[in-house]
Chains A and B, each alone.
Chain A
């Protein structure tokens, strides 16, 4: 297993290199630049700006400079949009809020999703199943940009229990975490139900049943194990997405997270910030997919580290 992990970590280097290189050149070929604004500046001022940020150098030189700064100093460069902050600073500033929001949402998603999914699978095609599955369907049918404002209307504006927006108190955390959590809970519940159903009829479950193991033990010890495979595959990228923030939720609830920077940096043509966020996301995705692969082997002993 350690060889497996070590090899994967080694593979990360070329993968990251390809991602950085591809992104670096992709953003440069997109029309529009960081200094286009409502009011066009003179060509001389634009030239001054480009010189200031080193954007007047040949592209390959900018590229090598960028790589050098990252490798030698861990420096992701300077944001062109937020002139007073470096990309490192922006990420350090905004990641914590996204991690908090993501962590709470993930908790909600896992608790609700797994519970609903397991119950639905065990009580398959009964009223309980339909109730649990329908609950999951709410999360699938109602997009975040509808659910968020709806929750705010009911719980913040009419009932006054929680805050409508902001990111200062614990009351501020409830509604956004719930909104994001419910959406992922829906996916988890559906996949858990599906995965469990695959397993519940397998021979080893039947054997366990025949041996007179208690139903709870069968479900928790045996069925969940195989049934969680699809959920775990889904969770890798989903957790990376959850932890790096959500544009919609952060906008609706006025949360200073990183999700908005992912989207806005592309719209602002803030090249360095695009790259910085992409690198962060890439690291998370790679790490989580590695964790997923390890967890899967451990869930299913028939798999091997290949």
Chain B
């Protein structure tokens, strides 16, 4: 979505900062990202985790639904590397299957929220005036509507399916993103380089997406990395309402919630899902910070 191709930008009238982005800022950014060890680490871990969740279950001798009532709550062992749960199911297998759901929900729903939030916020911030006021009042309204009721109604009218999950989550998570983007856009829209782009007669979408958004990527990336864990845990609440994953399938959010209730007696049920969840979030944040640094048009000068 944010796909500026600045090599096509006319150089006249741009600020020095814009000019200095050079002919191939993406390659520059890529180089800078690769030099950032933490970001590389984050990226590698994320890819490894995703591959593990996709392919891992094929190598597991157990199914995620396969119970063994004679071997419940068994601690980690050579047969069950991460132990078993309440019904004697292999935690590792369930964790990997759950990862598919959680990673997908976390990434797709966040992407939905990100897309709506950025576009909405940018439009409101850029045009300002009556349009902005109307759009922000709509945001106020959506903030206030009761989420539980909204989700139950969604299910009543549309049945349950995974798309609905993204709609439900996307519908609430974009609001703060929109407000953040709006305030940032308003802050930079009177800066010289934007005025310059305007005076060149560039189209509004072009100004917003090629000139403004690349300059506010920092907060967007940070808030995105904050949204992902929220979304993954929200999925556990939606499962409570009957929308999220259907048992016996599981997700990280649900596994952590179950583990939290038994943390004193069967700590591995919390520790392993918690660890993999944290590892994912740490990696995402490292990668996010790295991306922010790499794409920072101003820091590039240093």
Contact = CB atoms under 8 A, between A and B. Distances in A.
Interface stretch (B94-102, B130-138, B203-211): B130-138
B229 A140 contact: yes
A190 B176 contact: no
B124 to A, nearest CB: 10
Given A137-B282, A289-B179, A230 B148 contact: no
Interface string A188-216: 00110111011001100000000000000
B223 interface: yes
A15 B175 CA distance: 16
Given A23-B149, A266-B146, A303-B187, A282 B140 contact: yes
A230 B140 contact: no
Contacts of B278: 137, 141-142
B292 A197 contact: yes
Contacts of A226: 187
B282 A18 contact: no
Interface stretch (A85-93, A170-178, A231-239): A231-239
A99 interface: no
A194 B293 CA distance: 10
A150 B143 CA distance: 31
In this complex, the interface size class of chain B, counting residues with CB under 8 Å from chain A, is 35 or more
A153 interface: yes
B268 to A, nearest CB: 14
B110 interface: no
A15 B152 contact: no
B141 A187 contact: no
A137 B24 CA distance: 33
B281 interface: yes
Contacts of A194: 218-219, 221-222, 292
Contact of B183 (A15, A230, A266, A274): A230
Given A263-B148, A289-B136, A234 B223 contact: yes
A47 interface: no
B257 to A, nearest CB: 7
Contact of A153 (B143, B145, B184, B264): B264
Interface in A124-170: 125, 133, 137, 140-143, 145-146, 149-150, 153
A193 B145 contact: no
Given A23-B145, A27-B146, A141-B277, A229 B184 contact: yes
Nearest to B181: A233
Contact of B260 (A145, A229, A296, A302): A145
A237 B270 contact: no
A296 B183 contact: yes
Given A30-B153, A194-B292, A233 B222 contact: no
Contacts of B176: 233-234, 237-238
A19 interface: yes
Given A197-B292, A306-B129, A202 B298 contact: yes
A237 B145 CA distance: 13
B106 to A, nearest CB: 13
Contacts of B219: 191, 194-195, 198, 229-230
B183 A26 contact: no
Given A22-B145, A237-B143, A193 B184 contact: no
Nearest to B175: A237
A36 interface: no
Interface string A271-302: 00010011001100110010010001000101
B159 to A, nearest CB: 13
B233 A30 contact: no
Contacts of A193: 222
B281 to A, nearest CB: 5
B141 A142 contact: no
B149 A274 contact: yes
A262 B282 CA distance: 32
A281 B133 contact: no
Interface string B238-262: 0000000000000000001100100
B222 A141 contact: no
18 contacts: A11-B137, A15-B137, A19-B144, A19-B145, A26-B149, A26-B150, A137-B285, A141-B229, A141-B282, A149-B260, A153-B263, A191-B219, A194-B221, A233-B176, A236-B179, A240-B143, A267-B148, A306-B132
Given A233-B183, A266-B148, 14 more contacts: A133-B289, A141-B281, A191-B222, A194-B222, A197-B218, A198-B216, A198-B219, A201-B299, A234-B176, A237-B176, A266-B149, A266-B152, A281-B144, A285-B144
Interface of A: 11, 14-15, 18-19, 22-23, 26-27, 29-31, 125, 133, 137, 140-143, 145-146, 149-150, 153, 187, 190-191, 193-195, 197-198, 201-202, 226, 229-230, 232-234, 236-238, 240, 262-263, 266-267, 274, 277-278, 281-282, 285-286, 289, 292, 296, 300, 302-303, 306
